Each structure stands twice: as structure tokens, then as C-alpha cells.
Amino acid sequence: MDLLIQFAYIVSAALFIFGLKQLGSPATARRGNTISALGMLVAVVAALLDQGIVDFQWIVLGFVVGGAIGGAAARMVQMTSMPEMVALFNGFGGLASLLVGWAALSPTAETFTLVTIILSILIGGVTFTGSLIAYGKLSETIGSGALLFRGQQVVNSLIVLGILGSSVMFCMEPGNSQWLYLVIGLSLVFGVMVVIPIGGADMPVVISLLNSYSGLAACAAGFAVDNNILIVAGSLVGASGIILTQIMCKAMNRSLGNVLFSGFGSGKVEETSVEGEIKPISVEDAYYVLEAASNVAIVPGYGMAVAQAQHVVKELTELLEQNGTEVNFGIHPVAGRMPGHMNVLLAEADVPYDQLLEMDDINPRMVNVDVAIVIGANDVVNPAARESESSPIYGMPVINVDSARTVFVLKRSMASGFAGIENPLFYKDNTRMLFGDAKESIGGLIREFS
């Protein structure tokens, strides 16, 4: 039986790795998710058999209740709320690791085991409360801006020293539960303190980083309970999360330290004078421009998610192609409020994957684009990132929609984006503002074509 269990662990690890590889492409992501889920099922069954005597009534109850909650949440969640749901997933993963580490505690535990228990509890606690704060910022149930106060670094330093001191005392006196409770409490507080100084515009990076933390917490829990497959799974999640975090930081031309500690968006942004005037356009006039266009680039942002406009965007794309127009989508790595947000939305509408071009691929083509349609994006198309050294996003790579012959910007109003920065694109000579709900505006264009 032991040999069979170890073989199941190897199969599970292979499924995790292969599933993770499949997640690297939108075309195979669903299959990769299914393969990874199958690997987790194999791992859970093998782990239960490895434990010997287990009360399976509670296990089955947990499967049923957890599966029902997860299935209902997946069915009911709106696409606009997907980033918040991912934040909660990360948080509960961290909480699970905290509880596993706590449950692994025994009076006879060796020092190495005690250290892994502390790491599991610490990283899990930080991930749990940090993810709850990220959820609040993304859902705007709490302020999305960075929260800084005088002496914040001192408070954080004291918390870290408290965690280190109580961790050492716990390892020296594992029978004294007060030290363990202190580690748990301080880790939960530290999770809050880590995320509150990060502005809402940086939440995609935070989501990715918290995902990495949840993997590291699971890895530490694996060492605590001596489970190899939990170590492997946690390591994969932790490594992939930190790689994605670095990719997103590079996409914003910022370091991870700058994201975590700069308090972006907390200070007063220097006002820059924007020359030009707003030039609105009607749906009817926009149609005539699009009807004559031979090359169109669509750049989606969070506004497309809010308007639930991905399906009408797909319909408009089909009509343009029937009219002989080449259509592509420009996807910025940090568009939306979580990694891959725009890819998920467009995949839901069955937009062909080969039409989704990354920023580095779409930018060289932009000078040959007749019409660039910006749907609810703001900061990722802001030319101030190239032109204004005083801008907080100066140096951040953006999609150069202003290089197109004509730019249509679909917005409800002239309000700034999530980062709260003025966008000179709206005032450029080749830009036309199509105000209103994006879904209704695109629906109007569809009716004109029909």
C-alpha cells in the first residue's frame, strides 16, 4: 500500500506540473485547470489513505460542503468580481495552511518541525488578512487608495521583532501555547499592515504576490506534516506566483519593493497642464469611420468588465471582419484588476486566441492601425508614461494607441482611472470620445452595421 501511495504522489506531482504548463496559454488553460484539479484529487485521496485510520464521514461531509460552496461561488460570481474572488481564494489557502501548521503541533516535535510550523502559521496568517484587505480594496468596500501614517515603518518593525521574538520563544518552549498565540495574532496584524499602504492601482501585482505567499505557506505546511506532495504543490504555486509578480512589475517598470513600500497614489499628484480639447463623437459618426477602416485594434480595460461588454465586442469584431477589416486586441499585462483579467473576459466571449496580442506585439503595429478602440482602459494607454517626467507612471510601458490614425475612447465620463491620473490621450487631435456605457455604445455600432 505504501508503494501505491508514493506512486500516486508522483502521478499527482506530474499532473500538477503538466497542468501548470497548460495554463501558460489561453488555448489550453481550461484543460490545464482540469488536469491540475485531477492531480489534486489524486493527492487528497492518497494522503487520506496514507493516514491510516480516518473518520471518512467528516471527510465526505467536507467534500460535499466545500464542493457546493465552491461550485455555487464559481457559477454566481460576476466577471467584474473575479479579482475579489481570486483574493479570497488566496486568503483561504493561507488560512488552511495556518490551521494545518497549528494542527501539526505536538509536544515531541523536533526543532525543524517547529520552525516549519511557525513558517506555515506566519505566512498563512499574513496571506489570509492581507488577502482580505486586497478584497476590500478591489471591491471598494474600503478605500482603494494607499493608507500611510506617521510612524508606520516603526510599527511594522516592532511587529516583525515581536514575530521573531515570539517565534524563538515558541521553539524554545513549545509547551507554552501563549507564544504560539502571539505569533498567530501578530501574523494576522502584519498581513493587514503589509497591504494597507499599497494603492488600488497596484492590486494586480498584490494579488499575484499573495498567490505566491499562499503557495509558500502550503509548502511550509507540507514540511510540518511531512507530506511530499504538499511540498511540491506549494513550491509550484509559490514559484509561479513570484515569477508572474516579477513579470507584472516589469510591465509597470517598477521594482517589487517600490510596489510594496512606495504608497503609490497616497500623495498629491502633481498637476500637469493638458493642452487641447475634448472632441466627442456620436455612434453614427463612429460607425462611418469604422466602416471605412481596414485595420482596427481594440484595447480593453476594467471598464469593459464593468459594462459586461465582452460579448458585444465579439459581435462587433465579427461584423468588422465581415466588412473586410483586420481586427486584433492589445492586452496590457496589468489591464484590469488581476493578472490575465482581460484574457479571461475575452475567452468567455470566445474571442480567438490568435487575435489577443501582448503589448510588445501590438505596439509595433499601431502606426498602421486605422482605428484604435479603447474600451474602459485608462492608465495602460496613458501617453504621459512616455511624455511627462512628472507623471507618477513615467517610464511604465503602455500600449501606444495614440500612434493610430484615429482613437475612439469609450468611457462613461472624464473621470480618471483607478490610479487617479489625468490622461492626455483624451485631448489629442486624433482622439474622439464616445461617452456612455460601453455595452450600449458598442450595441449602437452593431445596429449601425446591421
Query: Using CA atoms, how far apart are residues 385 and 19, in angstroms rounded to an integer?
Result: 37
What is the torsional sign of CA 65, 66, 72, 77?
positive
Q: Encode pLDDT of 363-404 as tens digits.
A: 999 999 999 999 988 888 999 888 888 777 788 889 999 999
Residues recognised as catalytic = 379
pLDDT reported for residue 418: 58
- Per-residue pLDDT for 247 more than 80? yes
Q: Encode pLDDT of 401-415 as tens digits.
A: 999 999 999 988 776
Task: Tell me if 301 sits within 8 A of 401, measured CB to CB.
Answer: no
Q: Which of helix, strand or coil describes residue 422? A: coil
Three cell numbers, residue 88: 479570497
Query: Using CA atoms, how far apart are residues 212 and 86, in angstroms rounded to an integer?
Result: 12
**Termini Cα distance of the chain:** 66
pLDDT class of 416 with cuts at 50, 70, 90: low
Query: Using CA atoms, how far apart are residues 374 and 163, in angstroms rounded to an integer?
Result: 47
Three cell numbers, residue 141: 468596500
- Per-residue pLDDT for 101 more than 90? yes
- Per-residue pLDDT for 274 more than 80? no
Instruction: Please state the pTM of the whole predicted model.
Output: 0.81
Residue with cell 491540475: 36
Identity of the residue numbered 363? N
- Per-residue pLDDT for 263 more than 60? no
Q: Which of helix, strand or coil describes residue 175? A: coil
Three cell numbers, residue 416: 480618471
Q: Encode pLDDT of 31-67 as tens digits.
A: 999 999 999 999 998 988 887 666 778 888 988 999 8
Q: Encode pLDDT of 329-372 as tens digits.
A: 999 988 887 778 888 888 888 898 889 999 999 999 999 999 99
- Per-residue pLDDT for 320 more than 70? yes
Query: Using CA atoms, how far apart are residues 403 and 367, in angstroms rounded to an integer?
Result: 5
Q: Encode pLDDT of 197-224 as tens digits.
A: 887 777 888 888 999 999 999 999 999 9
pLDDT reported for residue 267: 44
What is the torsional sign of CA 44, 48, 49, 50?
positive
Residue scoring higher pLDDT (149 or 285):
285
Closest CA to 199 of 137, 121, 120: 137
Average pLDDT value for residue range 114-118: 95
pLDDT reported for residue 269: 45
Residue 141 DSSP symbol: S
Average pLDDT value for residue range 440-444: 94
- Per-residue pLDDT for 5 more than 80? yes
